[in-house]
Structure formats: C-alpha cells, structure tokens
C-alpha cells in the first residue's frame, strides 16, 4: 500500500519535471514564480496575499493587474486589489468589461484569466466550501502581452488560485472554530447552567409531595375518629384519603421518572458539550471507576423498556458471565452510556421475531459480558460487552462495514436513521483503547465491544458466580 503511494507520487514528480521542461519559462519568469511562492507562505493575511498577487507581475514584467473575487452569491465580482491603488475600498470599481468566464479572454485593453481554486482540497471539506472559480485576474495593457507571456500568466494565475483557496479555507476554518467556541460558551451559559435549576425544582417537588403525605396522614387520623362522626361525613373522609393516596402515588412516580430523565439528560449534555472536546478537537475522556450494570446499563435500559414492551420484545441478561461485584472499569461514564443508548435504540428498531429450535416464536434482546484473559496483552484482560438481538443474521462482509460512518444496511432501508450511531460507538470505544464488532449467529446478531482491564483493576477475587435474570 505504502509503496504504491510512493510510486504514484514519484510519477507525478516526473510528470511535473517534464512539464516544466516543456514550459520553457524564461529565467525572470521562474524568479517571479519563486518569489510569489515564498511571499505567499511568508504572509499570513488575505490582504497581503492580494497585494502579492497584484504586484509580482508589476515588479517583474511592468504589467499592471487587478484582482477580482466572487461574492458569496457566486455571481458578483468585487475588485479587491490593484497594482496601481493597492487594496481597493470601492469594490464596484474596475473594468466593467470583466465578467466571470470559464476561459481566458481579451477586453479592449486587457487580458482576463479565471482564478480557479483547488477542487481536490474543497472536496475534502465536510462543510460548504468555496466554488471552483474564485474570481478573475486582469492584466493590462493587452498589447504588451506576448503569446509566451500569456501562457506564463495563465500558469501564474493558477498558482494564485491554489494559494488563495488555501488561505480562504484557513480563514474559513478559523471562523468556524471561533463560532464553535462562542457557541460552546453560549451553551454552557444558556443551557447547561440553567439545567441545574431543575435539580432544585425536583427537590421542591419532593418536599411538596411529603407535605401532601402529611395532609393525608391527618385525614387518616380523622377517619380513625369516625365513630364520633356521622356516617356520611366518615364516608367522604375515606374517599378523600384514598384519592390523596392515589394522587400521591402517581405524583411520586412521575417525580422519579423526571429525576431519571434529568440525570440522563444532564449526563449527556455534560458529556457531549464538554468544553475540552471543542478545545482539543476530539473527545476528551473523564474516566472514573463505575459499576457497569447499575451506573451505565440499567439506567440506559430503563429509557427503552417501555418501547421494548410496546413491541413485545423480551429483555434479559442471562448471558452475563461476570458478576457485577467483580467488574469495575475506569471509563467515561457518560460516553459509555451513549454507547448502550445506541445499541438499545437499534434493538428497538431492528429486533425481529424468529422461530427457535423448539418451534416457538420468540423476539428478544439479551445483554451480557465476559472476561477474555490476556486479550490485549500479557496481564491486560479484555471485558467483552454484548447486546444480542433476534432476527436475520447479517452477512459477514456487511458486518465489517456496519460501524463505518454513514453506512446503512439494506435491511434498514425503511427504518429512520443516519448510519452515524454505530460509527459513534466505534469511535468512543477506540479512544478507550478497545475494539468493536458484530457476530452473526443462528438466530440473530451479537453486537459487542471489548474494553481493556488490567489485572489491578479487578475489584475483588474472582470466586463468585454470575447471576442472570429476565428483565421483562
């Protein structure tokens, strides 16, 4: 692979060598090229690059120039710089005969060449980039330009385009970074910090429910004195007592659901919008030792149990081979919770009913974990976490692509999704030093990830039995 790349580059170098031999540029023209490249690297601002573009032909060949660039609309040319006035304040000034065209052309007094950007660089960008034609380069007077000079100036303008494109992209990237940093600060101020007030609200709600429970207790005391109260009043008090009880039970259940939702939302907000991610340009882990089942898997699963029930999908963890007490890993809890969030979300969408070996129709999701001794290295075990879903086993070659960005299985054609979830899983596990995969099996597919566990991370002696149960 590397040798073929090297040969490809060597071939391009030889092609360039032959091209420059054919160009047969004059010594002064070669010096103009060299000076332009040196100065284009030396100056970092766009304004200085504009001046270099306009003044090199002036200083070397006594040719005046004007540099026009296309506006954001891609239709209007603005005069940015000229060899006579320098940086232009009136963008509408210039030669009205200069318009955007694909090929070089003459006006009454000048020669005009399109400035093209580097298409290959633009296609690599994930955001909307500048158009192929960036502007026009006008050289005058036309009668001074020989045919050989026209060829040189066209090549020179190509170099203007490539350097200009790179500078513009650098500035566009810097503006993106500034915007993202500002956005992160706004999110921290306007979203994450105010979100903390919900904790106070939930505490007040809990206190209010306790106060209502105290009122219910007073009603119970009144009911206990019923013999001294007429039957009709006593019956009403009993009804109020039971109504208060039912209402309190419903309120407390709603409060607990709100607390669970708040905790997960807060965890995801902090994890995904962490300032360090944007500062370093990658996910920055905040590792802590945690119990996978109680702190990551079950809280995440709780969000999806109603959907599993609605679709009649059974959930169990009877494939769990490692007791919870034996497993504590140092991981970023918020990011790993989102790994399971993606697995369970996919399970809701793609789990299918199958007929087992006994002829029963079943549809279920099963999760578990097992230890792989010395999986990563001597003394570095692996812990394999799995989520199995019943359905049609995927093809082996397709399994290799499931974790690729944007890939969607043909079976998911009519399902809502972007093909990003499993790629996110892969990225998060890999920055934890782990690996991901999927194992097609007889009755479905086993999605897994493996995390490293050094021997000194094992919490207790490995002498207890794992327990599993049907969750629903």
With left for phi above 0 and alpha for psi between -120 and 50, is residue 314 left, alpha or beta?
beta
> Do 148 and 73 fall into the same domain?
yes
Could you tell me if 354 and 361 are in contact, meaning their C-beta atoms sit under 8 angstroms apart? Answer: yes
CATH code for the domain in which residue 331 is found: 3.30.565.10
Helix intervals (H) in 230-358? 231-272, 275-280, 298-310, 333-350
Q: Is residue 368 part of a domain?
A: yes
Quick check: is 470 in a domain?
no
Position 282 in a domain: no
Range of the domain at 261: 196-273
**Predicted local confidence at residue 467, as pLDDT:** 47
5 occurs within a structural domain: no
Residue 159 lies in a domain: yes
User: Could you tell me if 311 and 382 lie in one domain?
Assistant: yes
Q: Could you tell me if 408 and 417 are in contact, meaning their C-beta atoms sit under 8 angstroms apart?
A: yes
Of 119, 144, 176, the last residue of a domain is 176
Question: Any idea what the Cα angle at residue 27 is, between residues 22 and 30, rounded to 5°?
Answer: 70
Do 120 and 156 belong together in one domain?
Answer: yes
- Same-domain pairing of 233 and 367: no
CA 161 vs. chain centroid, Å, equals: 31
Mean pLDDT, 10 residues at a time, the chain of 472 residues? 80 87 89 95 94 96 95 85 92 88 94 88 56 90 89 95 89 86 82 80 91 89 72 82 91 89 84 85 88 89 92 81 65 94 94 89 92 90 94 85 80 63 94 94 94 64 44 56
Does one domain contain both 155 and 89? yes
CB 348 within 8 A of CB 311: yes
Same domain, 432 and 381: yes
Q: Are residues 365 and 218 in the same domain?
A: no
Give the global pTM: 0.66
pLDDT given at position 270: 83
Contact (CB, 8 A) for 378 and 358: no
pLDDT of residue 463: 36
Residue 237 sits in the same domain as residue 325: no
Residues 314 and 357 in one domain: yes
Residue 367 belongs to some domain of the structure:
yes
Distance of CA 3 to the CA centre of its chain: 33
**CATH no. for residue 87?**
3.30.450.40
Domain end position, chosen among 273, 305, 331:
273
Helix or strand or coil: residue 140?
A: strand
pLDDT at 352: 94
Question: How many structural domains is the chain composed of?
Answer: 3
210 shares a domain with 164: no
Residues 103 and 232 in one domain: no
- The domain boundary residue, chosen from 245, 273, 301: 273
Strands 444-454 and 380-390: antiparallel
Tell me what pLDDT residue 93 has. 84
pLDDT of residue 325: 55
Q: What is the pLDDT of residue 194?
A: 79
Q: Is residue 183 part of a domain?
A: no
Is the bond into 431 cis (omega within 30 degrees of 0)? Answer: no
**Alpha carbon separation from 59 to 54, 83, 299, 370, 413 (Å, rounded):** 9, 9, 71, 74, 62
Cα 198 to chain centroid distance, Å, stands at 27
At what angle are helices 421-431 and 333-350 packed, to 10 degrees? 150
Q: Is residue 226 part of a domain?
A: yes
Closest CA to 158 of 295, 33, 326, 60: 33
Q: Are residues 97 and 148 in the same domain?
A: yes
């Amino acid at each position: 692979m590397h040798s073929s790349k090297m040969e490809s580059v060597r071939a391009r170098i030889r092609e360039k060598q032959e091209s420059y031999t054919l160009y047969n540029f004059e010594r002064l023209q070669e010096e103009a090229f060299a000076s332009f490249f040196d100065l284009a690297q030396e100056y970092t601002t766009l304004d200085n690059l504009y001046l270099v573009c306009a003044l090199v032909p002036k200083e070397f060949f006594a040719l005046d120039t004007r540099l026009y660039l296309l506006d954001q609309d891609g239709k209007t040319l603005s005069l940015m710089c000229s060899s006579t006035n320098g940086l232009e304040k009136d963008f509408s000034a210039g030669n009205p005969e200069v318009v955007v065209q694909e090929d070089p052309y003459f006006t009454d007094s000048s020669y005009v060449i399109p400035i093209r950007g580097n298409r290959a660089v633009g296609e690599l960008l994930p955001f909307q980039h500048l158009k192929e034609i960036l502007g026009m380069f006008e050289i005058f007077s036309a009668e001074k330009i020989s045919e050989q000079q026209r060829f040189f100036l066209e090549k020179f303008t190509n170099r203007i385009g490539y350097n200009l494109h790179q500078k513009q992209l650098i500035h566009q990237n810097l503006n993106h970074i500034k915007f993202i940093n500002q956005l992160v600060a706004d999110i921290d101020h306007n979203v994450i910090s105010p979100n903390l007030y919900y904790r106070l609200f939930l505490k007040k709600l809990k206190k209010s429910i306790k106060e209502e429970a105290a009122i219910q207790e007073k009603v119970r005391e009144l009911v206990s004195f019923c013999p001294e109260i007429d039957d009709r009043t006593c019956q009403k008090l009993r009804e109020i007592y039971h109504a208060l009880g039912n209402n309190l039970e419903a309120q407390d259940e709603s409060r607990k659901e709100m607390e669970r939702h708040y905790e997960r939302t807060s965890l995801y907000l902090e994890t995904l919008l962490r300032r360090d991610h944007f500062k370093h340009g990658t996910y920055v882990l905040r590792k802590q030792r945690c119990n996978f089942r109680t702190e990551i898997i079950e809280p995440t699963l709780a969000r999806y149990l109603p959907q599993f029930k609605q679709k009649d999908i059974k959930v169990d963890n009877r494939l769990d081979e490692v007791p919870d007490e034996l497993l504590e890993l140092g991981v970023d809890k918020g990011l790993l919770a989102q790994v399971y969030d993606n697995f369970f979300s996919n399970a809701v969408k793609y789990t299918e009913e199958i007929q087992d070996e006994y002829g029963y129709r079943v549809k279920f999701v099963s999760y578990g974990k097992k230890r792989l001794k010395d999986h990563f290295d001597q003394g570095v075990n692996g812990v394999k976490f799995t989520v199995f879903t019943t359905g049609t086993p995927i093809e082996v070659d397709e399994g290799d692509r499931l974790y690729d960005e944007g890939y969607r299985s043909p079976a998911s054609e009519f399902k809502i999704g972007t093909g990003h979830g499993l790629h996110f899983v892969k990225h998060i596990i890999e920055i934890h030093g782990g690996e991901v995969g999927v194992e097609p099996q007889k009755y479905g597919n086993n999605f897994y990830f493996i995390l490293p566990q050094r021997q000194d991370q094992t919490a207790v002696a490995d002498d207890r039995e794992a327990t599993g149960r049907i969750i629903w």
